[in-house]
Structure 1
Amino acid sequence: MPRDYYEILGVSKSADATEIKKAYRKLAVKFHPDKNPGDPTAEDKFKELGQAYEALSDPDKRAAYDRYGHDAFSGGMGRGGGGGFHDPADIFSQVFGGAFGGGFEEFFGGGGGGRKKSGQQRGSDLRYDLEITLEEAAKGVEKELEIERNVPCGKCNSTGSKGSGGVKTCSTCGGRGVVGRQAGIFIQQSTCPECRGSGQIISDPCSDCHGDGRLERNTRIKLRIPAGVETGVRLRSTGNGDAGVRGGTSGDLYAFLHVEEHDVFEREGTTLFCDVPLPFATAALGGELKVPTLDGQSSIKIPKGTQGGTTFRVREKGMPSLQGGLKGDLNVTVQVEVPTKLNKDQEEKLTDFSESIGEKNSPVSQGFFEKAKRFFDL
């Protein structure tokens, strides 16, 4: 079984982002392969540290890990949008690069001991803004996305070269992709001008991809959207970003969801709200009222004398939770519908009705005028 990520970094489950980063920096320096040449145990621990830090430094991944453990990062997007981990050396470089100017090579003194590049570079992550309906958000849906992205070149098998002998190590940087100069106790590094950071020189570029090892194409990708999502939720599709340069790891595709406004329902979390007209007679006499839900029609009982603005709760007719469990509720607010067109006979009957009920049968009016006596000189 994989070790617990918190245990690997030596932090508690309540540790904040600063504590996690501090613990990673200390241990990554200790077990970096360049500091422990020929020690396979140190390299394994370095990889383990990279995975632990990547999982716990990202709020979405950390939440998924806390809920599902290592299962969150198995089987593609999985429950938490997990997928594979990045190269531990890339993670180390991202964490230390800003502080030391150019990555882990200069941190350990530069020179030939650093890890060499093979010309491969990870592909870029891509963003896709996706609109879905409230009904789709409630039930979950599979969408087919059409995106323009870089895909591996089939003609050269992503090498960028026509033949196997056309790829050579750059003599200027020795394959590292960077060149450096001494500046006091540090070595300042910059991208190699000869190979442009790839570490390789291609003497016979592929005629299709022109040495890049990838081509720009329109592709279709299926994305499963779980029930309960809302605007702002980000889903990650591992490996469906740009293909890497010359066979490098593909980036990821991030889908940002936007749930369209609904004609009938308003949403707050898992709770839905809607206004429904209530016939005047039903409000006075009571009865059943049909109301809309995302699952079809439902009925609620209306007590006699129901006033406009009364809200009824319909249990478990709201939205599902993204974390699972029971659905939210639907809150139905009734608005008493007053007839707008009456014939003479109806007007007379309504007048007689109004006179017969008197003020005692109008509790809302009675309460209002009791409070407002000083305004009306009553």
Structure 2
Amino acid sequence: MSKRDYYEVLGVEKSAGEREIKKAYKKLAMKYHPDRTQGDKALEEKFKEIQEAYEVLTDQQKRAAYDQYGHAGVDPNRGGAGFGGGADFGDIFGDVFGDIFGGGRGRQSRARQGSDLRYNLELSLEEAVRGKEVEIRVPTLVECEPCHGSGAKKGSSPTTCPTCHGNGQVQMRQGFFAVQQTCPTCSGKGKIISDPCTSCRGQGRVEKTKTLSVKIPAGVDTGDRIRLSGEGEAGENGAPAGDLYVQVHVREHKIFTRDSNNLYCEVPLSFSTAALGGELQVPTLDGKVKLKISPETQTGRMFRLRGKGVKSVRSGAVGDLLCKVVVETPVNLSARQKELLKEFEDSMGGSDKAKHRPKEQGFFDGVKKFFDDLTN
């Protein structure tokens, strides 16, 4: 795959001075630095591309070779100046990021912060609405107590790597030029442990299942996250621990459906109550309440019970309960009941049909007009 133009990578003109190049690099590297894009391989490669462009364009000899011959002029495999040259990545990193990410001048390795963890927590609707305190067990890496995370046996301590002198990288010479590589002795850590801790075998961290108490605030919903700072994996070499994110998932409820702060439910309604009106007991999360049904209620009508929904975890506003009534057709009728219904149906026929069933009459009038228009 062909490399992009270094000036294009940094977003500067070919006439840009070193100060302008450093400014552009600092802005891009702050955005794509691995500390901010952990785990995203594509962004890590982009950061390497930015870093490579910066190193070439801030070195006068390599920049001159690049301007004259392009990438071939700085490619060691083609006899060019070679990426890495005499420039020290630690100097670059220290100059630009020393005050931002904590990197020191000439320092190649930094203790890595522990990874963030995620715990999936299932709750019932009632638990999510009211909130509760739960205990969770989380398998993680914690700091080794005997060595306090250093990896060295008690009474000893890690020593500076004699190969890279604490930089974490070494230079491989190719004639006049050099290429930087991870130090093979310390694997880029800058320190070696001659007498490792027996508990963690020199890793500074051990596996452990932690039991944590998590307070679930009232009103949480599926997709909400609760952050427990410092409860993730322990960092390397005593670095800060990551965070634990408790991911909430609310199970489906047999009666209620939640939409934001409102609750919905369907309530069956008898034919006679729908026609004559009456009272109906409907469920809420706080118990049963009476709902007044007005005469001639049609199926699908929505009744709103204000303040019977969910209290928002963010604003504190309380939603409503919306009850949709569904008129239930009688089943398993006796002979007498069928006879009564037939008499009832006959009583609404004739000229009074439109009066008692206006929707039905209006529908069929519309159908008749539709076919009349087709034939004309």
Q: Is the shorter-chain TM-score for this pair beyond 0.5, marking a shared fold?
A: yes
Q: Give CA deviations for 1:299-346 in whole Å, capped at 9, x if unaligned.
A: 221100101111111212222223123212222111111211222322
Q: CA deviation at 1:113?
A: 6.1
Distance 2:288 2:169 in 1: 66
1:322 is matched with which residue?
313
Distance 1:297 1:313 in 2: 15
Q: CA deviation at 1:107?
A: 4.2
Distance 2:24 2:212 in 1: 39
1:100 is matched with which residue?
51
Conserved? CA contact 2:150–2:157, under 8 Å? no
Task: Sort the Cα spacing of 1:229 and 1:105 in 2 relative to 1 into closer, same or farther, 3 A.
Answer: farther
1:366 is matched with which residue?
361
1:26-45 correspondence to structure 2 within 5 Å? none
1:195 pairs with 2:186 = yes
Task: Sort the Cα spacing of 1:195 and 1:353 in 2 relative to 1 into closer, same or farther, 3 A.
Answer: same
1:349 is matched with which residue?
340
2:66 is matched with which residue?
none
Q: Per the alignment, in what secondary structure is the counterpart of residue 151 of structure 2?
A: coil
Q: Give CA deviations for 1:275-297 in whole Å, capped at 9, x if unaligned.
A: 11011121111111111222222
Distance 2:370 2:37 in 1: 74
1:245 pairs with 2:240 = no
**Which amino acid letter does the alignment assign opposite residue 166 of structure 2?**
G
The 10-residue stretch of structure 1 (130-139 or 367-376) with the greater mean CA deviation from structure 2: 367-376
**Which amino acid letter does the alignment assign opposite residue 334 of structure 1?**
V
Distance 1:113 1:267 in 2: 52
**Which amino acid letter does the alignment assign opposite residue 204 of structure 2?**
G
Distance 1:201 1:306 in 2: 81
**Which amino acid letter does the alignment assign opposite residue 227 of structure 2?**
R
Larger Rg: 2
1:70 is matched with which residue?
none
1:223-234 correspondence to structure 2 within 5 Å? 223-234=214-225
The 10-residue stretch of structure 1 (215-224 or 161-170) with the greater mean CA deviation from structure 2: 161-170
TM-score normalised per structure 2: 0.68
Q: Unmatched 5+ residue regions in structure 1? A: 1-24, 31-52, 58-87
Q: CA deviation at 1:149?
A: 0.4
Conserved? CA contact 1:283–1:304, under 8 Å? yes
Conserved? CA contact 2:93–2:105, under 8 Å? no
1:219-298 correspondence to structure 2 within 5 Å? 219-298=210-289
Q: CA deviation at 1:215?
A: 0.5
Aligned length: 295
Q: Per the alignment, in what secondary structure is the counterpart of residue 237 of structure 2?
A: coil
**Which amino acid letter does the alignment assign opposite residue 253 of structure 2?**
H
**Which amino acid letter does the alignment assign opposite residue 217 of structure 1?**
K
1:153-172 correspondence to structure 2 within 5 Å? 153-172=144-163
Conserved? CA contact 1:135–1:294, under 8 Å? yes
1:132 pairs with 2:123 = yes
**Which amino acid letter does the alignment assign opposite residue 213 of structure 2?**
K
Q: Per the alignment, in what secondary structure is the counterpart of residue 372 of structure 1?
A: helix
TM-score normalised per structure 1: 0.68
Distance 1:268 1:113 in 2: 51
Q: CA deviation at 1:222?
A: 2.0
Distance 1:340 1:221 in 2: 54
Q: Per the alignment, in what secondary structure is the counterpart of residue 165 of structure 1?
A: coil
2:326 is matched with which residue?
335
Name the % identity: 45
Q: Give CA deviations for 1:7-33 in whole Å, capped at 9, x if unaligned.
A: xxxxxxxxxxxxxxxxxx969969xxx
**Which amino acid letter does the alignment assign opposite residue 359 of structure 2?**
V
**Which amino acid letter does the alignment assign opposite residue 100 of structure 1?**
Q
Conserved? CA contact 1:161–1:202, under 8 Å? yes
1:20 is matched with which residue?
none
Q: Per the alignment, in what secondary structure is the counterpart of residue 246 of structure 1?
A: helix
| Alignment RMSD | 3.6
Q: Unmatched 5+ residue regions in structure 2? A: 1-21, 56-88, 97-102
Conserved? CA contact 1:100–1:107, under 8 Å? no
